[in-house]
Amino acid sequence: MMQIEQIDTVPEHERALADLLAGRYPDERGRYGAFGGRYVPETLIPAHERLERGARRWLADAEFQSELDQQLRDWVGRPTPISPAPHLSKRWGAQVWLKREDLAHTGAHKINNALGQALLARRLGARRVVAETGAGQHGVASAAACARVGLPCTVYMGEVDMARQAPNVGRMKLLGATVVAVASGDRTLRAAIDEALRDWVSDPTSSYYLLGSAVGAHPYPYIVRELQAIIGREARAQMLEHAGALPDLVVACVGGGSNAIGLFHAFLGDRSVAMLGVEAGGRGAGLGDNAATLVYGHPGVLHGSYSMLLQDRHGQIQETHSISAGLDYPGVGPEHALLASIGRVRYEAASDDEALAAVKECCECEGILPAIESAHALAGARRWAASHPGTRILVGVSGRGDKDMLTLTQSLLAPLASALKEAQP
């Protein structure tokens, strides 16, 4: 009797974690517990179903995997190293390790997904690839991967973003992609996604839609997680080899959630390993001042998936703000919504100012210029170290900060220059 009662009172989240570890998510409806699914117009259902069948088949195929592994090694430069961070360790009073996705080809983790999906597109018989991009990083990774794999690539990008991210537009064009300016809607990422989907649905058998984060309708969150999980598999083995133990904490920044789910996945079953996802806290907690979806959001449907969202009382999607373009998105992948709801991963926000301070500290202490996105993870790690002295912390450095020089010049270097001028007698 006692025992039956105990089983019956096993908390719901323990069962969800067991299901997760047994590989039961996404389930046959594309769900992660209550989250995920496929909320798309009727016209897009067959294309998603075909993609799901293709992904399940090829991602489990030994020959596909060996082709992917070879390209990841020879072209992307994997495995990326983990670097001990001796100076940050000393300042924070912890043992800090950095997983260096900034050293991957094109400068961030996004290439793992873009390459994998480009290879998948070819196996599925696609003759062209369609992608969307906001800040341009996913567009660049897609253009590079398509060039490598030998598929033409069309990238949809909002006019506003094209003006803000001109260097990335040039990179995409050099890499052979066609960049289509989107003048409809908000003329940023959301409108670009709509246009890319419209293109895909007009010819879903010969074109392939290459989505850039662990978001969207099933099977995209699953495909992206599978392709990014190499980050955590490598990092876990590297920690055991170089640190001689697993980390006490694993930290990553969360925009749509692809680098974080990729880093976290291999550690989910390690009960001793705590996990922290850090979202963009922007200017603060007010509506429109941040992009911290799991911290401040509510459940709802965006871009084909039921997950957490930044929305107002009437369900209208909120404008977001973050100093880092890559985190500036009102949604988040459904698997993170599940991990948050069962408490396996803790999610916090780091502000623009905390991220900028972390960029500076990482540059000066370790000689590494991180992306402002990645600096949110560093800021979260620093905070955790203050209350957990002496622990081992693994931080995902999702990308390098060279792309952020315009922002960094305005926010870190210009104030420094004017302060120096004022200090002159």
Using alpha carbons, select from 395, 309, 308 the residue that is nearest to residue 358: 395
For residue 110, indicate whether it is catalytic: yes
Q: Which residues does residue 36 pair with via DSSP β-bridges, in sequence order?
A: 31, 306
Cα–Cα distance for residue pair 413/250, rounded to 1 Å? 31
Cα–Cα distance for residue pair 216/189, rounded to 1 Å? 13
Cβ distance to ligand PLP smaller for residue 131 or 260:
260
| C-alpha distances in Å from residue 28, one per residue of 22, 32, 36 | 14, 10, 11
Cβ distance to ligand PLP smaller for residue 344 or 400:
400
Cβ distance to ligand PLP smaller for residue 101 or 361:
101
At position 142, the amino acid (one-letter code) is: S
Cβ distance to ligand PLP smaller for residue 31 or 336:
336
Helix axes 230-238, 220-228, angle to 10 degrees: 30
Which residues sit at the interface with ligand PLP, rule CB under 6 A?
108, 110, 137, 213, 253-260, 326-327, 371, 373-374, 398-399
- DSSP state for residue 319 in the 8-state scheme: P
Residue whose CB is nearest to ligand PLP in the complex, by number = 399
| Cβ atoms of 313 and 320 closer than 8 Å | no
Single out the catalytic residue among 101, 132, 335, 366.
132
- DSSP state for residue 399 in the 8-state scheme: B
Cβ distance to ligand PLP smaller for residue 204 or 296:
296
Q: Which residues contact 305 (CB under 8 A, 6 or more apart)?
A: 35, 36, 37, 38, 39, 215, 216, 217, 218, 221, 331, 333, 334
For residue 403, indicate whether it is catalytic: no
Using alpha carbons, select from 173, 193, 181, 176 the residue that is nearest to residue 130: 193
| Cβ atoms of 203 and 245 closer than 8 Å | no
Compute the least distance from the CB of residue 177 to ligand PLP, in Å.
17
For residue 28, indicate whether it is catalytic: no
Compute the least distance from the CB of residue 211 to ligand PLP, in Å.
10
At position 227, the amino acid (one-letter code) is: L
Cα–Cα distance for residue pair 251/374, rounded to 1 Å? 10
Cβ distance to ligand PLP smaller for residue 137 or 142:
137
Single out the catalytic residue among 83, 213, 374, 398.
398
| Cβ atoms of 226 and 59 closer than 8 Å | yes
Cβ distance to ligand PLP smaller for residue 26 or 256:
256
Cα–Cα distance for residue pair 53/196, rounded to 1 Å? 21
Quick one: how far is CA 248 from the chain centroid? 22
Compute the least distance from the CB of residue 62 to ligand PLP, in Å.
28
Helix axes 45-59, 62-71, angle to 10 degrees: 80
Compute the least distance from the CB of residue 39 to ligand PLP, in Å.
20
Question: Which residues form the catalytic set?
Answer: 110, 132, 398
